[in-house]
Amino acid sequence: MSKKSAKIAGLIAACQGGDLDAHYLGYFECFNQECFYEAHDVLEELWLADRRGPNGDFYKGLIQLAGAFVHLQKQRLRPAAALLKLARDNLDSYPRLHQRLDVAAVLTLISDWLDRLETGGFSLNPLTSTTAPKLALQSGT
């Protein structure tokens, strides 16, 4: 087990045994704690196994969303906007509710953050004046 795999195993340990993959659940745990790099890493393992499958672009879009916030944390505003656009493009083809995620709400979130970056002329980082978003899954059935 690599150091990265061991770290990911630690991050998803509390997410084991649910009705959704622990990597997927771990992504939301990390994202909502503003550990965006870790969210990216956690979901990347799942994406690598399914990147050509039906959820490949879905996972990729979520990874890109987390990556955009990594860039915002590092004051890289244009790369953040580029990743937000890629995330939007990858998530756009999925139904409104997919894997218990309100994709429509995520697309709105992406549009809002893109608008904030563009309105600020890519010189004002909205993450410095606005709380980072939280992502929530719908209850299972």
Q: How many CA atoms within 13 Å lie on the side-chain side of 105? A: 11
> Confidence band (pLDDT; 50, 70, 90) for 19?
confident
| Contact call for residues 46 and 23 (beta carbons, < 8 A) | yes
pLDDT at 60 over 50: yes
Quote the CA–CA distance of 63 and 128 in Å, as a whole number.
Answer: 22
Q: How many angstroms separate the Cα of 125 from the Cα of each of 27, 63, 66, 67, 117?
A: 23, 20, 16, 15, 7
Domains with residue ranges and CATH for the chain: 3-128 (1.10.3450.10)
The whole-model pTM stands at 0.91
* Number of continuous H segments (helices) and E segments (strands) in the chain: 6, 2
